Structure 1
Amino acid sequence: MSTILKYVVEQLNKEPYRRNYNLISFDALEPLQLLQVLNDVLSEVNPQHKLDIREETPDATAMRMLSELRVLKYKPTVEPATFRQGLVAGNKPVVYSILEWLFQKMPELKKRAYLARFLVKIEVPGEILAEDAVMDTYSQYEAQVDAFMELHRTSESLKTSGFSTTEIKKDISQMEDEKDQLAKRIERLKKKVETVPNYEHMMSIARNFRKEQEREASLAQQRQEQKNQLHHAEQRLQRMKQQLKDLKQSTVGVSADDLVKKLDEENKVNAYMCEEKLPKDLETLRKACQDLERVVNEPAMGQGDLEEIQTQIKAVNSEVNALIEKRMMSNDPKDDKLSLFRQQASIIARKKEGRADGLHEAKEELVQAKQELVEKRESAKNLEGEEVLKGDDFKRYVNKLRGKSTDYKRKRQELAELRAELGVLSRTEEILKQRDEQIQHRLSKLEAKKGVAGYHDTQEELEKVSTIKSELDDVKGRTLEDMSHLVQKLNTSIASKKANLAPIIKELRPLRQQAQEMQVVYDDKKTAYDTKAAGLESNRSKLEQEVRAYREECSQEESRYHYLHCMLQMVEMQNQRVASEMKAYTSADQMEKKKAFRDQYTRKLQEQENLGKVSFFPHFRLENI
């Protein structure tokens, strides 16, 4: 909210408002004054809103502003009901957001308000619109609105086109003259060529020849495009190969332990960032936001409030200083030892935070560098397949560019001189034309005075007609000669092509018949092959299913065999232990008999019973003693 308030105050202090507000004075405005400021800004967008809001009711002011904001397509950030209530009451967050939006889009909103005066249609009730006269008038009104839209669109396109009307008119008149001359010349040529024998046939041949030339040009262009695409694909392949080579080189000499250590380090860094660094930053930002919101939500403070706050700050500072002195007086050696470790821990924590910040900045720089690399590669791709120069080649290229820059500056200077000379010559031409008009006017007066009016104009027209006739005769002669040579070339080429194709056609006829016979045989063989293949495929699928079932059965039997084998070994071990126990128990040797589990367990039970008797009845032993 503070940034919005600062931006609004800066804009209001500029032209054409010049309010000389500061943050405190603007924040201290009453709701009515704040609505007046909003109304003044709206009047800058649409002059129809230029008035004092004290002269109208609050409801009328709110309705007028809401209708204007709806026309300007303002989208509130809160609910519509809350927005309307805040606008009527002059709520600061609502008004501040509207002012920020208006200042950010002022040129666009001025244009939209201007167009809304003519494009927002008048709402006419249906019962009134049912009348014929009203309906006709409303249709004319809609037609006028559509015409205004078209004219405005045309005007905007012309404003951004960069052409002047005088140049366009001159070009149009010149093109019309050229069109008339071409039409007349085409008519004369048609009349002259129509007398030539085989006129239609020759014209069709010439037309076909022109089409073939255009087709040849298009094929050449397609071929060039395909070459360019192939060149780009080869370059991309080279880049991919280089990337693959770099990746292979980066992994040379690196063992699995090194990769695991690197991953462990990255994991520790990420864990520190996620568990310690980022939560602290988030908590700091939350506290800052809470402090700012608390400051913004508090009412505007005066000089007395500021003095009271300064007094409180001084009192708290004195208390802090007293507590520090008291702590220094009652300093404990144990606390001193702990303070050393605390200082070391705080230094290490600060170092870790500094390294984490450096890591974050390095990652951002790496991402930015990667983006720049991608942009540079994309720009290098758009250089029409040119290679990126390095070393001496780049120096030579720079020197070449410098030479071209010098030539460009010299030619630009020459062009400026030529343009200046063109201006002088055009002015001289205008002066000469004016003098020529004056002389022509005097000459016409003299001719009228002598009784031969129009003699000079008639003579000039006759000279122009004779010159044009001679030029047309030359053009017609050249055109007929070119057409005759073209027809002769075409006939010769057609005859030569027919002669060359005649033996090939003779050889091709029996081959076509043979090909038809082979096609019939091929179709028969293909049908038989497809039938056989379908049958074999069905048999193969059945056999695969059977094999799959047998394999599953075998795997189940194998697992059951291994399980039973293990159980059998366990039973054999148990039998061996039982046999050894029976052997030791039935043996006559006392040492061997003591190794039996039964005797061992019996002996241990007896020892435990004796121990229990001793621990629970010690006085019996004393009396017996």
Structure 2
Amino acid sequence: MSSESLKFIVENLNAPPFNCNTSLIALDLWPPTALLQQLSDVISWITQTNNIDVTREPAEETALRLLNNLRILRFRPPSGIEQLEEWRAGLVEGAKKSIYPVLLYLFSNVDMLKQRAYLAKYLIQDEIPSNVLDNDVTQLRNELSQHMERFKEIHANVLDVQQDTMLIDDIKSDLKSMEVEKEWLTRKIEKTYKKIQNFASLDRQLAAANQLGLQKERLEEMDRQRSEQRDGVIHAEKRVQRCKDQLAELRQAYENIDPSNMIAVLKDEITTNTFLLETKLAKEIEQKRQVVSELATASDTPAVSSSDLSALQTEVITIIFVQNLEKELNDLEQQVEQKKQVLRSTSGSEVMSAHQFKAYVIRVRDKKVVYKKKKAQIEEILTEREVLLRTIDLLAKKFENIKEKIENMNGKPVESIAQRRTARPQTAAPASTDVKELSSLVMELTRSVDQRNDQLAPLKRIHGERMEAINARGECPRSKQAKRLRKASDADGEDL
């Protein structure tokens, strides 16, 4: 859609009675629900009905209401089947591609659409199934049709009166302008008369001017009569030519006439009429007799009460509503089946149902929770590992410094027990690419991590209790040891 059309839509949305106070950028950011609600409000404004909250209304009723109103307002949807289905789905979902053209059409023809919506309240008949029709219903429909025709006549008269009122206003404005022009001409005539009143031959010149005007009018009348006579001569010549052509055709037909052909044509007509009399008319007579017998049977039945009519009308409305719902359901099922076929052809796998997809989403969520929990545990272990590695590095540096001091003092350091380190793999790449083996490996690692966590849990609890006790007593020994190590390192730096 062009930018001018979008600007036109925004201007109408910002105008009363909507007062949306929006812009092109803000309108582009509207959610689908807001667009659908705005379309419903615009249609309610045109049809002079109350606004309906689409969030509280079922989606099926919203779709039926909007499509029915657009049909009454004669909005032309896309002609193609696929484009029409896409437009309907977008209209229900609040898609911009489907709603913007509708808003443009509504805002471009507000007065005409209001008039059409007003007439639709009184001139649209409900469809009644043939099996429900009887004499009373048919009579009521005929009376309704007569009232509709009467309403059309009255409405046409009202429009004529309104147009006459508008014409009266135009005539009044024309009279005012003519009065102004008359005053201007009067003043001009007075000025001209003052200029020429001193002429000696004024009367003779006025008479000559009057005679000149009369001669001009006579000349115009003669020109008009001459053109009318010329047109009459042309029409007469054409009529004479047509008569001559018809006379020539009749003479040719009279010369080529053949009695045998006429007899053959008459025989064909007699055969056709005989066939109609013996077959078609006989069938029609039999059908009419059946209709008469049915009408006689219906006339013998007791009269239908108003309660029966109300029940029948309710049943008719229910049947029509159910038929519309079944039609919509069939359309939706066909769309779903087409989408499934397209998905099967593209992905090559079976499409999950809604229940299967919900179960799959639940499993994914559970696995995501477990994954987050394991990830937090791994991050905690990695943090502890980094702290321990940093502690080992500090102790190693301290050991090297002490060793150098002992050697400088001609001492001999005692060999320490070699630290045992567990061998780690040089790469994190898995040894196999089999999904089952990888899943079993993940399960084993998960069980191992759970066991380690279970083993660390009591130690962590004991550690926490001891840390609380130490904090209660005073300064933590570890902090004291860290201070001593810091002082020693500062002393070593001064010695160096």
For the aligned pair, the TM-score class normalised by the smaller chain equals 0.3 to 0.5
Q: Which has the higher contact order (CA 8 A, sep 6+)?
A: 1
TM-score scaled by length of structure 1? 0.27
More helix by share: 1
What is the TM-score with the length of structure 2 in the denominator?
A: 0.33
